[in-house]
Structure 1
Amino acid sequence: MNYTKEQEQAIFLRDKNIMVSAGAGAGKTRVLVSRMAELIMDEKNPVEADRFLVMTFTNAAAAEMKERISLDLEERLAKDPENHYLRKQIRKIRQADISTVHSFCNHLIRTHYNELSIDPSFRIGEEGELFLLRQQAIEQLLEEAYASGRESFVKFAESYAPGKSDKVLEELVGDLYRFSRSFPNASFWFEKTKQEALQLAEAKEWDNSPAVMLIFLKAKKELLQEKEALSKLLKNIAGEEVPEKYGVLLQDVSEYVEALSQTESYDAYYMVLSRGSVPAFPRATKKDKEWADYEIVKEWHQEVKELLQKQKETVFTAPAEELQREAAGIYPLLEEYIVLAQRFEEIYLAYKKEKNVYDFDDLEHFALELLVDHYDKGGQAYPSETAKTLAKKYKMIFVDEYQDTNLVQETILEMLSEKDNNTLFTVGDVKQSIYRFRQARPDLFLRRNEKYHNEEEGVSIELRDNFRSAPGVLCFTNYVFSRLMERDFGGVDYNEETALRAGEGGPMLEDKETSELLFFVKDSVQTLEEAPEDVVTETALITKRIQELIEEGYHYGDIVILLRSGAGRMEPMAEF
């Protein structure tokens, strides 16, 4: 088979943890299947099919993986029909642990249900059924809280849900419960949260609290970027005849930025920021605008002004003493909030146990109970005997769509990964991470990728060759995302090292088509709502372009119209 250099490395490299960053259309499934097949057939150290653990994101992906590896092995058997070892592996692959994370957890729980004290005949509840159980749990929780008459709850309710309705309280508790479930050890996270909040509430600890340090260092980092931009700007205009008023402006802004950069605490930064401001940009004459660097200076001035104004309005809103007093007042409410969320979890779990129905989060957490022996004071998990046994069983662990892994799933992987027994092969693309709303943590991908780039614990491989799209599509995609995506916005710097490129031998490599944009400029930009006439106008614009393409020699079968939503659009388009 023909592989790219990077694909070949991902398939044949041995005895190392590997992370593959696979861009769209880069052949990641082919790489996964080929690596498994080559490991099975390795002449020196073959790995039998039942020693694989493969975790995919969907059941469909798991089924496809099994089918493709089976076909690969059957093609090899057709060339070597007397190979009994190969026949054995084809039988084993059908029963191999190739599944979603939840399916793996489900199997693990049903195998070790006695260690969890649950009924092995449990099932995953329907969403409507689970919703009713949650409602019963929240009603019981609030009844208990009101009956207790505890002052902390009364203050919490008065602060966040004044009036006769408890709906806000229900939503608040539900939100915190759901978020806490994304942590492998929620109790540790709750305790850590309280400790950090207590630091904010205490005057002597306020400046050193993680929250304050985070926002202060972030502000300083943003400021440093503007300082570097100014330094570059001043270097470019050195020796030029700079209009006096712009020279004065640059000097004033430079001094203001420098004063901010010299601060070493939140309060010091706040004082400098609140007492000063970025001077207005001087009105320009026609001659001023002829100055070669006029637009560059104007753009930089606007960037600095917007940045510091945003910091004033959203971060450095009050002196430290005032914010500390507010934090001290909020702390008891936070404690009560956590008590409510933890009690809700207990009640909800009891209802689920009574009905013998659970949700997918429960599968992950039950699996953790089986795989984690204990957590140390820092929250680090240590594997149980069950985890150690499984780590010896699985010689190779594969994880697909790794960018959408959450902290609980990551801990499950860590418990199954043992340096002396197996290696980990992860595949994903942080640029395609779309499940943060489900508490996916693409930062886990980035952290592991960075470690492997430095050849700590593993090797990082980048698959950039796209075999699915025409070069014109790739060129357009790279153009757009190189201007939108950077490490702080999207998790990766979209540059020449990460951009997609047309793969040699790809089916569309010779395609000469280019991408184009059709602009429809509305009369008013005050609203994003689409009026019916807008849809008709857009449809007319598209129809006109289609007619032009037909006249150029294309056929209607060559054209497809993709819509974000069919509602209110498909009928007008069909009528055209």
Structure 2
Amino acid sequence: MNFTKEQEQAVRLRDCDILVSAGAGAGKTRVLVSRMAEMILDEEHPLSVNDFLVMTFTNAAAEEMRERITAELDLRLEKEPQNRRLRRQVRLMKHADISTVHSFCNRLIRTHFNEAGIDPSFRIGEEGELFLLRQKAMEDVLEEAYESGRESFRRFVEAYAPGKNDRMIENLIEEMYRFSRGFPDRDQWLIAVREEERLLESPETVTKSRAFLTLSARVRGVLEALLAEVEAGLDLFCGAPESERFDALLTEDAEKIQALLEEEDFDALCEAFAGLKLANLPRANKKEKEWPYLEEAQALHKTVREELQQIRQDYFLYDLRELCRENRELSGCFEELITLSGRYEELYFQSKKDRNVYDFDDLEHIALSLLVESYGEDGQPTPSAVAKELSEKYKAVFVDEYQDTNLVQETILNTICREGNNNLFVVGDVKQSIYRFRQARPDLFLSRYDRYHKTEEAAAGGLPTESQENPAAGQPAGVRVELRDNFRSVPGVLGLCNLVFSRLMDRQFGGVDYTEDIALRPGKGGPMEQEKEESEMLLLIEDAEKDNLAMEVHSVEAETAMIARRIRGLLEEGYGYGDMVILLRSDAGRAEVMAEFLTAAGIPAVCESRTGYFQTREVQLVLNYLAIVDNVYQDIPMASVLLSSIGGLTEEELARLRVLTSAPTRQEYAFFDLIEIYLAEGKDEGLREKLDRFVEQLLYFRRKKKEMPL
């Protein structure tokens, strides 16, 4: 089995924690499987399958890893059929601790149900069931608060629910609850949050707050990007005799942006934005109209004006002292929100416990309560007896997709892999982190990445024992291994990816600087065929002025039409249909539509449908029609039916229905209201006939609904 140098290091290194930064197609699963197999087969210090804990992100990944490790051991067993120990390890693989984090937590809770105070026959609730429990808990929380007559609650409602319902404060409570669940210790988190709020209440301390620093970094990032865009424009299309006035205009734009970047004091920056004036676009004269880059220069100046105006409106309309005064006045509201979200968490959890039903977040937090004895003032956990037992049991801990780990999962890991165990092996790629909306913390990956030594440094100076960045901190540091070789794609594809992301991704946007050190490179033994043609990128630019619905219904068809044109071009170049494939990030709701469109355009196309019977387009159409027969004010089913053969409207007509209605507040109307308005006021006779026919049929079925069930 041939490994690259880096893969070999990831498989063979021992006696240290290891982070493997593995780009797409770099063979990370092969490395994980091979490392585990090597540790089992090690002649000097062999480990048993029972000594491993392997955490993956999905059940499918866990099953694949189990199968591949078993296959690896089976292969060795064929060469050593008399090896009893190896045969036993193969049998043990069926019960190996290879699972998702949630499955691990599930097993842990059922094993230690008595310590957790949980009935071991619990189950994971269905989303609909949990939604009803959340709804009931929210109703109870607000009912309690209203009955209490608390002044703080009254002010909270006045500030955040001025309308006729409590929807906004319900959303705030739910959001606070969900966010707090991403932290191992809610009390420690609240201490930090309250300190942050305290900093926001005074002009002397506000600039030290995380919110202010984040805001400052965001504004600076936008200004720097804008400056780079203007400078690139000056380099690219200015300097011609006919561009003299636009050269001066864009140069002035760049100077004003640079002046804003040089302001370090917030008040001074507010004044600078307040007094900021950019010249209007000059009317192009005859000579300038012949300049090929006139539209680009005009658009760039317009972008600068709009971006700076947006920054001013978003961040610099108010004086810093006024903002701090408002924060002081709202501090009581914030404390009330903390109280409400805490009570909501308490009632929601109790209702789940009463029914012996939990969600996946509960599994993590209950497992964490079993593994942590207490938290120190610095927030560091003290492992419990259960955690110490597990740290003795597991001689090697593997974590896949580490970039999508959250703080609770990280704490679970840290209690099992105690300091000095040197048995943690994590694999991930911060560039592929896509679960931040689920509280994933790619910064945990980056922290280890920055702290750990490169393999070359480890080889030169022995295994590291302290941080690269801050040796005085005394934190144990491990070794990081970079797997950059891609064995999945051809050089042209990799080159295009590197080109795009080297310009898009940096530490602030994407979590990492996309430098040569982490760029993808073709791996030897991969698809290295030299391409006669380079990769090309086709861009479909939507009209931002169009109605959102019109854009949505057009997008798939427009994209497929562009693909169809490219396919015909390739056919003319001598390629066959069998030489082509259309790859989608997800085929949900798109693959079948594209296949139908291509077939209608005379291009044979087939897709592997994973859609169940009730998810097919035809059945969904009937269900949507039944939905509007029951209730004509359901906009999504209504739009679906109007665009089908039943309604007969084109996408343009549906958009016209929305846009051309004379009612000034048309956005507040449902589609059925808009239909009635258009029937009374619309100018397009053909569209009115379609709508009249559609409404007549719909009302007929609504009358029939009273005579027979839906």
TM-score w.r.t. structure 2 length?
0.72
Report the 3-state secondary structure (helix = DSSP H, G, I; strand = E; otherwise coil) of the residue aligned with 1:367. Answer: helix
Out of 413-422 and 365-374, give the one that drifted further: 413-422
Q: String of CA shifts for 1:6-39, please: whole Å, max 9, x gaps.
A: 1111111111211111111111100000001111
1:118-197 correspondence to structure 2 within 5 Å: 118-197=118-197
1:109 paired to 2:113: no
Deviation (angstroms), 1:143? 1.1
Deviation (angstroms), 1:397? 0.9
Cα distance between partner residues in 2 of 1:411 and 1:532: 45
Q: 1:343 to 1:298 in 2, by over 3 A?
A: same
1:326-405 correspondence to structure 2 within 5 Å: 326-405=326-405
Which residue matches 1:237? none
Which residue matches 1:497? 517
Cα distance between partner residues in 1 of 2:567 and 2:296: 41
Cα distance between partner residues in 2 of 1:453 and 1:75: 35
Q: String of CA shifts for 1:317-348, please: whole Å, max 9, x gaps.
A: 31111101111121111111110000000001
Q: 1:448 to 1:296 in 2, by over 3 A?
A: farther
1:60 paired to 2:85: no
Deviation (angstroms), 1:2? 0.7
1:266 paired to 2:266: yes
Q: String of CA shifts for 1:50-100, please: whole Å, max 9, x gaps.
A: 111100001111111111111101111111122222222222332221110
Report the 3-state secondary structure (helix = DSSP H, G, I; strand = E; otherwise coil) of the residue aligned with 1:78. Answer: helix
Cα distance between partner residues in 2 of 1:341 and 1:175: 9
Out of 66-75 and 204-213, give the one that drifted further: 204-213
Report the 3-state secondary structure (helix = DSSP H, G, I; strand = E; otherwise coil) of the residue aligned with 2:200. Answer: helix
Deviation (angstroms), 1:390? 1.0
Deviation (angstroms), 1:220? 5.8
Indicate if the aligned counterparts of 2:227 and 2:254 stay in contact, CA closer than 8 A: no
Cα distance between partner residues in 1 of 2:580 and 2:230: 49
Q: String of CA shifts for 1:292-334, please: whole Å, max 9, x gaps.
A: xx99999998898676545422223311111011111211111
Deviation (angstroms), 1:513? 5.9
Letter of the 1:465 counterpart? D
Out of 13-22 and 490-499, give the one that drifted further: 490-499
Which residue matches 1:240? none
Deviation (angstroms), 1:555? 3.6
Given the alignment, which residue of 582, 585, 590 partners 1:561? Answer: 582
Report the 3-state secondary structure (helix = DSSP H, G, I; strand = E; otherwise coil) of the residue aligned with 1:427. Answer: strand
Letter of the 1:489 counterpart? F
Indicate if the aligned counterparts of 1:52 and 1:96 stay in contact, CA closer than 8 A: yes
Deviation (angstroms), 1:4? 0.8
Indicate if the aligned counterparts of 2:368 and 2:412 stay in contact, CA closer than 8 A: yes
Q: String of CA shifts for 1:88-130, please: whole Å, max 9, x gaps.
A: 2222332221110001111111111111211111111111111
Q: 1:393 to 1:502 in 2, by over 3 A?
A: same
Given the alignment, which residue of 490, 503, 517 partners 1:470? Answer: 490
Indicate if the aligned counterparts of 2:183 and 2:189 stay in contact, CA closer than 8 A: yes
Which residue matches 1:37? 37
Which residue matches 1:26? 26
Out of 96-105 and 507-516, give the one that drifted further: 507-516
Q: String of CA shifts for 1:147-179, please: whole Å, max 9, x gaps.
A: 111111122122222333223222221121111
Which residue matches 2:570? 549
Indicate if the aligned counterparts of 1:470 and 1:513 stay in contact, CA closer than 8 A: no
Cα distance between partner residues in 2 of 1:299 and 1:547: 34
Out of 390-399 and 536-545, give the one that drifted further: 536-545
Indicate if the aligned counterparts of 2:253 and 2:304 stay in contact, CA closer than 8 A: no
Q: 1:485 to 1:206 in 2, by over 3 A?
A: closer
Q: 1:7 to 1:116 in 2, by over 3 A?
A: same
Indicate if the aligned counterparts of 2:40 and 2:46 stay in contact, CA closer than 8 A: yes
Q: 1:370 to 1:202 in 2, by over 3 A?
A: same
1:574 paired to 2:605: no
Out of 217-226 and 159-168, give the one that drifted further: 217-226
Indicate if the aligned counterparts of 1:207 and 1:213 stay in contact, CA closer than 8 A: yes
Indicate if the aligned counterparts of 1:256 and 1:278 stay in contact, CA closer than 8 A: no
Indicate if the aligned counterparts of 2:249 and 2:279 stay in contact, CA closer than 8 A: no
Indicate if the aligned counterparts of 1:253 and 1:278 stay in contact, CA closer than 8 A: no
Cα distance between partner residues in 2 of 1:348 and 1:534: 41
Indicate if the aligned counterparts of 1:260 and 1:272 stay in contact, CA closer than 8 A: no
Deviation (angstroms), 1:515? 2.7
Letter of the 1:64 counterpart? E
Cα distance between partner residues in 2 of 1:515 and 1:220: 34
Q: String of CA shifts for 1:267-303, please: whole Å, max 9, x gaps.
A: 343234434556678899999999xxx9999999889
The percent of aligned pairs where both chains have the same amino acid is 53
Report the 3-state secondary structure (helix = DSSP H, G, I; strand = E; otherwise coil) of the residue aligned with 1:94. Answer: helix
Report the 3-state secondary structure (helix = DSSP H, G, I; strand = E; otherwise coil) of the residue aligned with 2:95. Answer: coil
Cα distance between partner residues in 1 of 2:535 and 2:138: 53
Indicate if the aligned counterparts of 2:230 and 2:250 stay in contact, CA closer than 8 A: no
Indicate if the aligned counterparts of 1:51 and 1:394 stay in contact, CA closer than 8 A: yes
Indicate if the aligned counterparts of 1:51 and 1:396 stay in contact, CA closer than 8 A: yes
Cα distance between partner residues in 2 of 1:541 and 1:223: 35
Indicate if the aligned counterparts of 1:54 and 1:397 stay in contact, CA closer than 8 A: yes
1:414-563 correspondence to structure 2 within 5 Å: 414-453=414-453, 456=467, 457-507=477-527, 509=529, 514-518=534-538, 526=546, 529-530=550-551, 539-562=560-583
Cα distance between partner residues in 2 of 1:553 and 1:245: 47
Report the 3-state secondary structure (helix = DSSP H, G, I; strand = E; otherwise coil) of the residue aligned with 1:382. Answer: strand
Q: 1:513 to 1:124 in 2, by over 3 A?
A: farther
Cα distance between partner residues in 2 of 1:98 and 1:478: 34
Deviation (angstroms), 1:569? 4.5
Indicate if the aligned counterparts of 1:256 and 1:276 stay in contact, CA closer than 8 A: no
Q: String of CA shifts for 1:419-461, please: whole Å, max 9, x gaps.
A: 3334211111111111111111111111211111466311111
Indicate if the aligned counterparts of 1:212 and 1:266 stay in contact, CA closer than 8 A: no
Cα distance between partner residues in 2 of 1:451 and 1:179: 27
Report the 3-state secondary structure (helix = DSSP H, G, I; strand = E; otherwise coil) of the residue aligned with 2:480. Answer: strand
Q: For structure 2, list consecutive stretches of 5 or more residues without a partner in the other structure.
A: 235-243, 455-463, 468-476, 602-710
Q: For structure 1, list consecutive stretches of 5 or more residues without a partner in the other structure.
A: 235-242
Indicate if the aligned counterparts of 1:368 and 1:412 stay in contact, CA closer than 8 A: yes
Q: 1:312 to 1:34 in 2, by over 3 A?
A: same
Deviation (angstroms), 1:479? 2.3
Out of 105-114 and 563-572, give the one that drifted further: 563-572
Cα distance between partner residues in 2 of 1:209 and 1:386: 38
Deviation (angstroms), 1:509? 4.2
Deviation (angstroms), 1:250? 6.2
Deviation (angstroms), 1:137? 0.9
Cα distance between partner residues in 1 of 2:500 and 2:228: 25
Out of 378-387 and 324-333, give the one that drifted further: 378-387
Structure with the bigger RCO (C-alpha within 8 Å, sep 6+) is 1
Q: 1:477 to 1:230 in 2, by over 3 A?
A: closer
